[in-house]
A and B are shown apart, each in its own frame.
Chain A
Amino acid sequence: MSAAGQEGAHPPAIRRAAVIGAGVMGAGIAAQIANAGTPVLLLDIVPGAAARAVQTMLKADPAPFMHRAAAKRVQPGDLDADFAKLAECDWIVEAIVERPDLKRALYGRLEGVRKAGSIVSSNTSTIPLRDLTAGLPDRFAADFLITHFFNPPRYMRLLELVAGPATRPDAVAAIRDFADRALGKTVVECRDTPGFIANRIGTLWLQSAINHAVDLRLTIEEADAVVGRPMGIPKTGVFGLIDLVGLDLMPHVANSLLATLPEGDAYRALHREHGTITGLIAAGRTGRKSGKGGFYTRAKDAEGNSLKRAIDLWTGEDRPSAKPSLESLDLGSRNLRALAEHPDRGGRYARAVLLDTLAYAASLVPEIADDVTAVDAAMRLGYAWKYGPFELIDRLGPGWLAAALRAADRPVPPLLELAGERPFYRTEAGTLQFLGLDGDYHDVVRPEGVLLLADVKRRSKPLARNGSASLWDIGDGVACLEFHTKMNAMDPDILALIGKAVGMGRKGAFRALVIHNEGSHFSAGANLGLALFAANIAAWGEIEGLVEGGQKAYRALREAPFPVVGAPSGMALGGGCEVLLHCDAVQAHAESYIGLVEVGVGLIPGWGGCTTMLRRWSAAPGLPKGPMPPLSKVFEMISTAQVAKSAFEAREMLLLREGDGITMNRDRLLADAKARALALVEGYEAPKPGTLRVAGPTGQAALRLAVDGFAQLGKATPHDVVVCGYLAETLTGGARGDFIDETPEDAILKLERQSFMALVRHPATLARVEHMLETGRPLRN
């Protein structure tokens, strides 16, 4: 088939890209392009700045690069010296200072060098497209669009895309496709209006939340608590969020919006400068990155304890931060309408902010977007809201909101009138539908190749289910095992459902199994709270049963007569990592953070983690012969609780294998995993339990010696020594381990159990577990 024949179906590929402007955004975009495997040129007007930006990014946390190898794909250069290199690029992203004149001048220069058919996009967040293309040739306008990334570009999943009237459709398609599949972004197409979608609504929301907090005399803690969790907004709320992004950014955003917003826009009426805030900015207290704090500060008391302090919006004075105590918060934590109807200041505040924000959002469709789904997606992915504005309206009731607006003598947006009492979203015959501008409901259509478990759940009943996990039919004879505990922590019910699923698969209920969920994290590990409680009441038999039950369930997965594919996203730690280690294949979201972290809580992997890693490293090519090299690798990795910061790092640690796949776009993960599972069905044969060559007591002694050395240097704590001792014993096959004979894997599994049980009875381990549960940090005892 000729390449031309595919032209219509497949947009032109982006094989090489460039980013101009090596500021935080430009450099971050370049890093993400490199993460996707595409070579990228990073240029800056200041000589050497791009190279420095790459070095800075290699040390940054959170890391812009998914793997240090990705950094090699970024070729830094100086704009003037290396301008000619832009000729090789299929896509040029402009991320320079927000000045239309400078941008246009740059575009003019680009016309002299870029190759035909290449695409240019701007990362502007404030300048309308029509201003950017003014005075430039038609050829340029046809190749030009706006790609607005959110900070940090690796982690924020939203990409706002604005095409002009002259932009080539296939250029739009090419960028859309590349951003979606390669960069892993959810692309929301926006109109050429000020602030596009997310910042347009977000800026008004922030302003409204500040104004009402001042007027209703809420403390900033109260405001953040009301606006945070009850509305499904990250717990930083408003003031915490501004501290995070920087107070000094606010006037910039405000001014650029005020310069471009239409007359009569609601934001103009709300915009107000607050003395306390301008004072903070003048004093350089512009938020966390300023080092001086912002609305919140940290100070040390006389005893050296770090104390959180909060500013009083009225007096501008700092005072010790206090946990808010409002009746509306207690009552409204689960019921948004109850919160918004509550007469105390928390309730009045919630009502005021919701009315401003939601009425504004409703008034902007179709001005800024074709339909409500785009607005909701933008706010969810760009501002990390759990619910978009129209989803929030549904939680309040569209009729309730309209009535509340009328009661406040405010106009009701036509879209809200159109909805009447009807929700903006409904499920009809198992399909999610949204209310269109025509007043009818329309199916929410997912892009081709996107399979969401949420959609499956909407249209079907589980094949099996208990309180912690469910088994779903995702079509074509593939089942999906979903965890749904808090943090998707592994518990006895999940293990039970694994056992049940394997039994059903053996009977032919499905051909292949995918393990996947759409929580923030695949699994944070075993349910430590449950284990600690059992340990505290000395229920040793129960704990031993849990360890054995986990080994059995995971082993059943591995030895099942059908392929099993793990599809993680987010954290997969401890027991959550071990379940992946027992899958035939893993299709991981690039943003997967995988590791065996048990030693952090004074334990060792007890669900086959030690055994599997030993097997994998023993078979790894390129290591010197003998049992010691793989042993050292595994011991180092587990004893230091290493966590891969991306799927690419996991591959290097053999937590993923060479053949395991990586999906950049989270929405495409399940479909990719399903395809992978189906590909394994033909001629599938389950692996058999094998044998290992262990290092035995001499190896154990060597490891113990090394640990003692670390202890003497103060790098290992007393309990580290204890835990590492058990780990060494387990990995070397215990007292009877012998590097001449083959040791059955079962023997190592038994050692895992014994070591685990010995450690779980240790008071220092219990202290570690408790500390982790209460502070989220490891205890170094």
Chain B
Amino acid sequence: MPSYKAPLRDMRFVLEQVADLERLRALPGCEEVTTELVDPIMEEAAKLCEEVLLPLNRSGDEEGCHYENGVVRTPAGFRDAYRMLREGGWPALHCDPEYGGQGLPRTVSLLFEEMMCSANLSFGMYPGLSHGAYTALHAFGSEALKALYLPRLVSGEWTGTMCLTEPHCGTDLGLIRTKAVPEGDGSYRITGSKIFISAGEHDLAENIVHLVLAKLPDAPPGVKGISLFLVPKFLPDGQGQPGARNGVSCASIEHKMGIKASATCAMNFDEATGWLVGAPHKGLRAMFAMMNEERLAVGIQGLGLAEISYQNAAAYAKDRLQGRALGGTRYPEKPADPIIVHPDVRRMLLTMRASIEGCRALGLLTALEQDVATRSTDPATRQEAEDYVALLTPVVKALFTDLGSEAANLGMQVLGGHGYIREWGMEQYVRDARIAQIYEGTNGIQALDLVGRKLPAHAGRYLRRFFHPVLDYIESRGEDEAMAEFILPLSKAFGRLQQCTAEVARRGFADPFEAGAAATDYLRLFGLTALGHVWARMAEASLRGLEGGDADFHKAKLATARFFFARILPQTGALSAAILAGGETLRAMEDAAF
């Protein structure tokens, strides 16, 4: 049975040393955000995740969800756990106080999200989807809809969903067929089928609020003709209590590779009553409003799974006695050396750890910019933060989930045969991590978003928010000898990224196929360089920290940093070579020859 301890020490380090709490505290509503405030919250969150959610992870995976006659039951223990989550006010953490939220910035709530993903990803899906629905409704709903639904979503009494995908369209939402017919009284009749709806039906809450993409009768073709509707499972009565059953039902649930305790539903809407959210035909805009938040959340899923996989692989490697160290016995008092002595085991563990700590820092930086983008009172500052978030969102989503999946596989590998059998729990992380690379826009789509939309936008303005600060950082540390071991490789990777960015933009402008051919490698190159930047900043903080009381923590941080710069960041060389080679070899093969 895997164990989990929330990495509170590292989280505080990132919050204090990397995320710049001063910048956060300058934002309205964040003035009080200090480590004194955050620490106890995170300790409580850790308790919930370690003691309540973690024990349900394996059993939930074994049992899965049950479907019968349109009713979905979650695995044993989930209802109680959800009640505790709700009673603890956790769904309200990062919500608007006007609707009962606690108003904490994303920078803080993200840490809780990570813990929940480590402890029990399937469980975390339910509040996660609710928060997505909350965000879209909060941004675009009418005052009446917000007053009625938001307090209940914030409290967790009701949960939410996002109903986008249909049997014949996922990535290309312009093709959706679900239709909405105005009733004349302000409501609409929604009819159609949706699939892959997480938390579409379950027994955790008394009502479910579906946000549904559908087309109005006069809709223009394509994505410009999509509108967003709110469709509750039960229509609220005069008191706002769940009343009559609406025409929405769960037709079946999917049988999946992972996240088995998360109900993935096929939903039927049969003249269900709904209300328009936002302007007619502007549904996609509403979707994009929550897309950045959601994609960061999915990235964090990769991080969370990598973390728990790492913790258990590291424990196992220190414990498991097998053979002797290559250079000679290290633990003569034991019948065999623990496998932690082996360079390849250490390589795997350090790779995981370098990814995890780097992603945690980069994720937090991105969350901080999200907070600035939504809360700053200065339009120019807001704009800059929005640019940064727009640029980094596809990187975070794809990089974190790819690295998370790789880490889960490495964690399983460390355990050898025991990793492959269910008893040890390591294979579940491999299965659970896999979906994060696929949903919320496949990682291939993320890469296309980066090269096709984010790079060319405003002649590269989004890029400025990353390239300028990173170059400033490199140049400002140029004279610092102690930092040279980090700054030199970072500046090399940065140069490669500059060159490839210019090339991808140049070729992609002339021939979109070239942009597409470079996309995935380019995203990884970008992501590794971004990790290099946060790793240099962490190393700088730990160089300072060596003098203080927590030397062991900082020594380990520096060791991981050195591993990252020596053994991982050089991948940027291979990536840039592949990118610069162009797309011709991807084009050459005849379609029929595949």
Contact = CB atoms under 8 A, between A and B. Distances in A.
A533 B507 CA distance: 14
A325 B221 contact: yes
Interface string A530-566: 0011111111001000000000000000000000000
A275 B304 CA distance: 67
Interface stretch (B107-115, B233-241, B365-373, B460-468): B460-468
Contacts of B461: 536, 766, 770
A325 B220 contact: yes
Interface stretch (B75-83, B163-171, B498-506): B498-506
Interface of B is mostly: helix
A226 interface: no
Contacts of A47: none
Contact of B460 (A322, A325, A327, A533): A533
Given A538-B467, A539-B502, A766-B464, A773 B459 contact: yes
Contacts of B222: 325
Contacts of A542: 502
Interface of A is mostly: helix
Nearest to A542: B502
Contacts, number: 49
A770 B459 contact: yes
B290 interface: no
A774 interface: yes
Interface string B292-308: 00000000000000000
B9 interface: no
A537 B463 contact: yes
A515 interface: no
Interface in B443-489: 458-461, 463-464, 467-468, 470-471
A528 B458 CA distance: 12
Interface string A752-774: 00000000000000100110011
A536 B464 contact: yes
Given A542-B502, A766-B464, A536 B220 contact: no
A538 B471 contact: yes
Point out which of B220, B459, B501, B505 has the most chain A C-beta atoms below 10 A from its C-beta. Answer: B459
B221 A537 contact: no
A115 B282 CA distance: 73
B224 interface: yes
B460 A537 contact: yes
Contacts of A744: none
Interface in B479-537: 498, 501-502, 505
Contacts of B501: 537
A463 B246 CA distance: 75
B502 A534 contact: yes
A660 to B, nearest CB: 35
Nearest to B509: A529
Interface string B308-325: 000000000000000000
A538 B471 CA distance: 7
B467 to A, nearest CB: 4
A538 B468 contact: yes
B459 A529 contact: yes
Contacts of B220: 322, 325
Given A325-B221, A537-B502, A539-B502, A769 B459 contact: yes
B498 A532 contact: no
Given A325-B222, A536-B463, A536-B464, A770 B502 contact: no
Contacts of A766: 461, 464
Contact of B458 (A534, A537, A538, A770): A770
Nearest to B222: A325
B460 A536 contact: yes
Contacts of A533: 459-460, 463, 502, 505
Interface string A503-544: 000000000000000000000000011001111111100100
Given A325-B220, A325-B224, A536 B502 contact: no
A331 to B, nearest CB: 14
A322 B220 CA distance: 10
A532 to B, nearest CB: 4
Interface string A336-377: 000000000000000000000000000000000000000000
A445 to B, nearest CB: 38
B261 to A, nearest CB: 43
A115 B458 CA distance: 64
B289 to A, nearest CB: 20
Contacts of A325: 220-222, 224
Given A542-B502, A770-B461, A536 B467 contact: yes
A476 B520 CA distance: 54
A532 B468 contact: no
A532 B221 CA distance: 35
A327 B221 CA distance: 9
B502 to A, nearest CB: 6
A37 to B, nearest CB: 44
Contact of A532 (B459, B467, B470, B471): B459
B514 to A, nearest CB: 14
Contacts of B470: 538
A646 B393 CA distance: 50
Contacts of A770: 458-459, 461
Contacts of A327: 221
Interface in B169-197: none
A774 B457 CA distance: 10
Nearest to A773: B459
B459 A539 contact: no
A530 to B, nearest CB: 8
B437 to A, nearest CB: 28
Nearest to B471: A538
Interface in A254-304: none
Contacts of A536: 459-461, 463-464, 467
Nearest to A533: B460
B460 A538 contact: no
Nearest to A771: B458
A507 to B, nearest CB: 31
Interface string B221-250: 110100000000000000000000000000
A774 B461 CA distance: 12
A529 B470 CA distance: 22
Nearest to A540: B471
B216 to A, nearest CB: 15
Contacts of A774: 458-459
A538 B224 contact: no
A111 B501 CA distance: 75
A310 to B, nearest CB: 15
Contacts of B464: 535-538, 766
B523 to A, nearest CB: 16
Interface string B388-426: 000000000000000000000000000000000000000
A532 B502 contact: no
Nearest to A327: B221
Interface string A110-141: 00000000000000000000000000000000
A327 B463 CA distance: 33
Given A325-B221, A325-B224, A542-B502, A537 B467 contact: yes
Interface string B19-48: 000000000000000000000000000000
Contacts of A529: 459
Contacts of A539: 498, 502
Nearest to B505: A533
B477 to A, nearest CB: 15
Nearest to A536: B460
Contacts of B221: 325, 327
B564 to A, nearest CB: 23
Q: Which 6 A-B pairs have the closest CB atoms?
A: A536-B460, A533-B460, A532-B459, A536-B464, A538-B471, A538-B467
8 contacts: A532-B460, A534-B502, A537-B498, A537-B502, A766-B461, A766-B464, A770-B459, A773-B459
Given A537-B502, A769-B459, A774-B459, 13 more contacts: A325-B221, A529-B459, A536-B459, A536-B461, A536-B467, A537-B463, A537-B467, A537-B501, A538-B467, A538-B468, A539-B498, A770-B459, A774-B458
